[in-house]
Every structure is written in structure tokens, then in C-alpha cells.
């Protein structure tokens, strides 16, 4: 299974925001430059992150984005969910884990279990965990 570019970029952008949030609102332009993600693409992601109550925006000179709550209260699965990505491992499953086939296939339980484990894993990681790892990597 592969997460989409949208999910990967959203998580990377959120780590970048978290690394610099103590400096005040973080410009999406700065995140774009640091992460080498196109500005228009990031703008689309941040609209969704704001709707998902992951970030808040600050208008005007010196404006930008802030975390909507502490980084230790934001989980990776919430970031991915806010940019409308599904965490199902196969295309025949709905976001709630139900099967789209006429009859439930014989391997349904395998895929459903995998989806549950993926969600469980991603919900166990906070933005603070990723930020801490990024700070350690920067120090090396």
C-alpha cells in the first residue's frame, strides 16, 4: 500500500510548521521553500487542514499558519483524514471498511485487519513525535 503524495506532503508540511511555530505564524511560502512543495499545492492542502481544525490562519502582515492545538494532540491519522485521504488498503473497500463487492470476498477479513492496523499505527504517532525526530535529525 502506498499513501498518496497529498498525504505525504500534508504530513511533511505539518512537521515543518511544528518545527517553526514558536517563531509566530508560519508563512506557507516558507514551508513551500523548505519542503520543495509547490505553493499552489500547499495552499490547497492548508485549506483542508484548516477545515479539519489542524491549523488556524492569521491574516495580514506577518500572517501565516499556526497549529490549532498542541503538537502532542495532533495525530498523523488526523492530518491524513483532513486532506481527505482514505486509509483503506485495497480499492474495493469503503472508508468505513465495508466491502463494495456484491458478496464479501474471501480475503475481506485480511484487508479489513490490515486497514485497522494501519489506522492504529498512524493514530499512535503524534505531530510532536515527528517534530522531535526532525529536530534530532537536524542536530546531527
What band does 1 get if pLDDT is binned at 50, 70 and 90?
low
pLDDT at 97: 66
pLDDT at 115: 85
What band does 41 get if pLDDT is binned at 50, 70 and 90?
very high
Q: How many independent structural domains does the chain possess?
A: 1
pTM beyond 0.85: yes
Are 18 and 67 a contacting pair, CB within 8 Å? Answer: yes
Q: Which residues pair with residue 93 across a beta bridge?
A: 99
Are 100 and 92 a contacting pair, CB within 8 Å? Answer: yes
The H-or-E segment that residue 66 falls in is strand 64-67
pLDDT at 129: 98
Range of the domain at 68: 5-139
pLDDT digits (tens, 9 = 90+) for 82-133: 998 777 777 777 776 667 776 667 888 888 888 889 989 999 999 999 999 9
User: Domain holding 62: CATH number?
Assistant: 1.10.10.10
Alpha-carbon span 107 to 42, nearest angstrom: 37
The candidate with the shortest Cα–Cα distance to 18, out of 137, 139, 132, 140, is 132
Amino acid at each position: 500500500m502506498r499513501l498518496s503524495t497529498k498525504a505525504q506532503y500534508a504530513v511533511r508540511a505539518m512537521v515543518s510548521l511544528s518545527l517553526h511555530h514558536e517563531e509566530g505564524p508560519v508563512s506557507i511560502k516558507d514551508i513551500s521553500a523548505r519542503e520543495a512543495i509547490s505553493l499552489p499545492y500547499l495552499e490547497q492542502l492548508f485549506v483542508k487542514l484548516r477545515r479539519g481544525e489542524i491549523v488556524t490562519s492569521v491574516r495580514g502582515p506577518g500572517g501565516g499558519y499556526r497549529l490549532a492545538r498542541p503538537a502532542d494532540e495532533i495525530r498523523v491519522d488526523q492530518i491524513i483524514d483532513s486532506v481527505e485521504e482514505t486509509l483503506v488498503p485495497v480499492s474495493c473497500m469503503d472508508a468505513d471498511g465495508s466491502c463494495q463487492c456484491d458478496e464479501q470476498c474471501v480475503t475481506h477479513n485480511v484487508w479489513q485487519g490490515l486497514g485497522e492496523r494501519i489506522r492504529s499505527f498512524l493514530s499512535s504517532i503524534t505531530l510532536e513525535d515527528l517534530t522531535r525526530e526532525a529536530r534530532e535529525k537536524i542536530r546531527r
